[in-house]
Chains A and B, each alone.
Chain A
Amino acid sequence: MNARRDFFRKTLAGAAVATGATASAPVQARDNLQLSPDALGLLFDSTLCVGCKACVAACKSANNLPPDYNTPAHGLWDVPLDTTAKTFNVIKVFQNGKAEHKDRVEDGYAFSKKSCLHCVDPSCVSACPVSAMTKDPKTGIVGYDPDACIGCRYCVAACPFEVPKFDYDSPRGQIGKCELCRHRIPDGQFAACAEVCPTGATLYGKVADLKVEAKRRLSLKAGDMTRYPRGDLSNGPDRSWEGPVAPYVQHLYGDKELGGTQMMYLSAVPFHNLGMPTLPERSYAAKSESLQHGLYGGLVLPIALFGAMTWVARRNSKNDEHGDGGEQ
């Protein structure tokens, strides 16, 4: 009996010390994760995209994906309206009024690419309870492992860009999303969408290089001529061509959004017209994990609480003769 009481006194003392320790240390807010120097990504320049959808087809074949009928003309037409578990990449169009002028809001239109942005601090990875969504520490590619996945779809709900999707039509359905063609890298190949893009609107490369290229374009004068690289910016070969500079919105989308993304966007129409949300710089993953770590870091609070609760419960159930706690 005494031994037990002793045990509790010790538990409680330990818990108190531990609580004191956390209280004195500043709450360990988790900062945004940082971009890896070797991170790979895409730069999508809406002003260069001609809407040919070569990238959509190339993505399908590079990833062995079946046709995806979700347009009304069932069975005849394979034009998915959004990313699905079987379509990792779509080209969308913004239209306004008569939709006659490219890259203009007034009576204009503009194209946008929708595929995984490979967030620097991804919500999907933070959400996944079983590490089926992971971020490669070197390339920063956000990959998916169906053999680990439990199909809870927390990643689907959490992704701020609505990218990953689950296949509800199969009893063994899995998540589908762009993995930056990581399976092609060992063969010396790169993102199929960038490889086939005829204008370089989708450009592949190291994120650091892509950012330099994006900032170069933003500094040019609208109407001037410049060279646009195509394919793989970092490793070549040089397949660039010369074209006119569009009146860019002075913002590289994905530079700072939610701590940055490895696929970034340039556009001549405001980004919200392309369906891109306006986002804070602090990542949602950091917010969520700071809270979790604050409450559960080292299990300090739960253990302290458990110690206190057990101690009180024991004291209160002792003089409770009829209770389940002290029933004879």
Chain B
Amino acid sequence: MSSHEHAPVGGRLLTPVTFFCVVLFILALAVLGVRFVHGLGSVTHLNDGYPWGIWVVADVVIGSALACGGFAVAALVYIFNKGEYHPLIRPALLASLLGYTLAGVGVLFDLGRYWNFYHIFMPGYASPNSVMFEVAVCISLYIAVLWIEFWPAVLEKFGLADAKKKLVGTMYIFIGLGMVLPMMHQSSLGSLLIVFGHQIHPLWQSMLLPLIYLMTAVLIGYAIVLFESCVAAAGYRRSIETHLLNPLAKVMLGVLAAYLVIRVGDIVARGALATAFQFNLQALFFWLEMVCFALPFYFVGSEAMRRNPANLFLGGLYLLLGGILLRINSFLIGYMPGDNWSYFPSTGELVVTVGLFALKIAAYIIITRRFPVLPREQHAVAA
């Protein structure tokens, strides 16, 4: 049996989709040009009440969570020893690599004094008491780890078998790091909010925020694998790996059930439940979030439903939306800096966020067409 379970998809690199994505990214660059010449205020709706907008929340907090597929699948394969998921690792790793790298780059656009960014890593400046310090350091390290974890695919592409063998022999160290670092910073992305105190609505302010963020990061990881596998299958007209995704959905539901028990239990224990029944934006968005977390039970809850790939797709999609809403809700909807402030992203902010996302998609397509990332098609192996 060939050890090459992955293969490049092949085909043209310049397709209507990649072209469109690159155009979107160029638009984003134009907006960023204005931002760097005239300041953040020239293109964003950031204000004295809302110092953080979607560049922080969407590009970094959500963007990095969406990039947790690599972490979530690696946990299954290497920690829970479910080798059957191995074919899913590389595609998930690539998505993670792109997601995290662009989240890291995205931070630089948002930093008001970006030329000082290296202070975070410098003794004398670095302040380990700061949650943001921990997030920044762990994310930076993790980006490096992801590149190393993905490197075997690159070496394989160029036929450097020896080099690959050497690297693979030490890979367990990076796999270990690739477990610990995301656990640290995904939970800390939630901890960022603890120092905000009463400024965060009681539905989201909790000492369990790190656990809530960590569990949903894992869930988002599984959801994104479902989602991406379905989209990749549709886009490349390949068969869906239902035999893998189906049991994966079951694992996901187990984690989701545990999450919901903790999340609701925490709200009740803190006496914040009543605020969910008030008539306001926060309560409305809280219920939207909870409904999204509940819907996967309907779509992938039973064996019969799971057999239909469309349901796998929808189950993953709602779970993603739930995780995204949790992050938007706790950072923006539930952030209450006083009555006189409001924030809604500007066109410029949206263009940059969309452009970064488009770049990820284009890169994913280009790399999977040229590098051995996606699982080799069954019939291709047989032929």
CA distance A305 to B49 in the complex (A): 39
A:129-170 near B, CB below 8 Å: 129-132, 146-154, 156-158, 160, 162, 165-170
Which residues of A are found within 8 Å of B36, using beta-carbon distances? 171
Cβ of B303 within 8 Å of any chain A Cβ, yes or no, is no
Which segment of B196-204, B234-242, B252-260 sits at the interface?
B196-204
CA distance A173 to B41 in the complex (A): 10
Contact B168 A327 (CB under 8 A): yes
CA distance A36 to B77 in the complex (A): 54
Cβ of A3 within 8 Å of any chain B Cβ, yes or no, is no
Cβ of A317 within 8 Å of any chain B Cβ, yes or no, is yes
Cβ of B114 within 8 Å of any chain A Cβ, yes or no, is yes
Which residues of B are found within 8 Å of A166, using beta-carbon distances? 40, 48, 51, 112
Cβ of A321 within 8 Å of any chain B Cβ, yes or no, is yes
Contact B132 A152 (CB under 8 A): yes
Which residues of B are found within 8 Å of A173, using beta-carbon distances? 39-41, 112-113
CA distance A157 to B335 in the complex (A): 9
Cβ of A226 within 8 Å of any chain B Cβ, yes or no, is no
Which residues of A are found within 8 Å of B270, using beta-carbon distances? none
Contact B3 A327 (CB under 8 A): yes
Contact B112 A162 (CB under 8 A): no
- Known contacts: A123-B197, A171-B38, A296-B184. The answer to whether A84 contacts B191 by CB under 8 A is no
Contact A168 B47 (CB under 8 A): yes
Contact A287 B48 (CB under 8 A): no
Q: Which 7 A-B pairs have the closest CB atoms?
A: A151-B112, A310-B176, A168-B41, A151-B113, A153-B51, A314-B172, A156-B51
Chain B residues with CB under 8 Å of chain A are 1, 3, 5, 36-42, 44, 46-49, 51-52, 77-79, 81, 83, 86, 89-90, 110-114, 116-117, 119-120, 124-134, 136, 149, 152, 164-165, 168, 171-173, 175-177, 179-180, 183-184, 187-188, 191-192, 194-199, 207, 210, 335, 337-338, 340
Determine which of A150, A275, A322, A328 lies in contact with B165 in the assembled complex, contact meaning CB atoms within 8 Å. A328
Min Cβ gap A107→B in Å is 22
Sample of 15 more A-B contacts, CB < 8 Å, known A126-B130, A157-B51, A327-B3: A82-B340, A83-B48, A123-B196, A127-B130, A130-B120, A148-B119, A150-B111, A158-B195, A166-B112, A173-B39, A173-B40, A279-B198, A288-B194, A291-B207, A320-B77
Cβ of A14 within 8 Å of any chain B Cβ, yes or no, is no
- Known contacts: A129-B130, A166-B51, A171-B38. The answer to whether A160 contacts B199 by CB under 8 A is yes
Which residues of B are found within 8 Å of A165, using beta-carbon distances? 48
CA distance A71 to B130 in the complex (A): 36
Determine which of A131, A160, A170, A305 lies in contact with B127 in the assembled complex, contact meaning CB atoms within 8 Å. A131
Contact B195 A284 (CB under 8 A): yes
Contact A328 B119 (CB under 8 A): no
CA distance A327 to B51 in the complex (A): 48
Binary interface profile of A, 177-206, with partner B (CB < 8 Å = 1, else 0)? 000000000000000000000000000000
What residue in chain B is nearest A316 (Cβ atoms)? B81
For chain A, what secondary structure do more than half of its interface residues adopt (helix, strand, loop), or is it mixed? loop
CA distance A305 to B89 in the complex (A): 21
Contact B130 A305 (CB under 8 A): no
CA distance A152 to B195 in the complex (A): 15
Which residues of A are found within 8 Å of B128, using beta-carbon distances? 296
Contact A150 B38 (CB under 8 A): no
Min Cβ gap A90→B in Å is 12
Binary interface profile of A, 289-328, with partner B (CB < 8 Å = 1, else 0)? 1011001100000100111011111101100111111111
What residue in chain A is nearest B44 (Cβ atoms)? A168
CA distance A291 to B130 in the complex (A): 11
Cβ of A174 within 8 Å of any chain B Cβ, yes or no, is yes
Contact A131 B172 (CB under 8 A): no
Contact B113 A149 (CB under 8 A): yes
Determine which of A131, A162, A292 lies in contact with B337 in the assembled complex, contact meaning CB atoms within 8 Å. A162
Which residues of B are found within 8 Å of A317, using beta-carbon distances? 78, 171-172, 175
Determine which of A148, A157, A158 lies in contact with B125 in the assembled complex, contact meaning CB atoms within 8 Å. A148
Contact B195 A126 (CB under 8 A): yes
Contact A309 B176 (CB under 8 A): yes
CA distance A285 to B127 in the complex (A): 13
Most interface-central of A279, A302, A307, A313 (chain B CB within 10 A): A313
Contact A323 B77 (CB under 8 A): yes
CA distance A152 to B130 in the complex (A): 12
CA distance A146 to B119 in the complex (A): 12
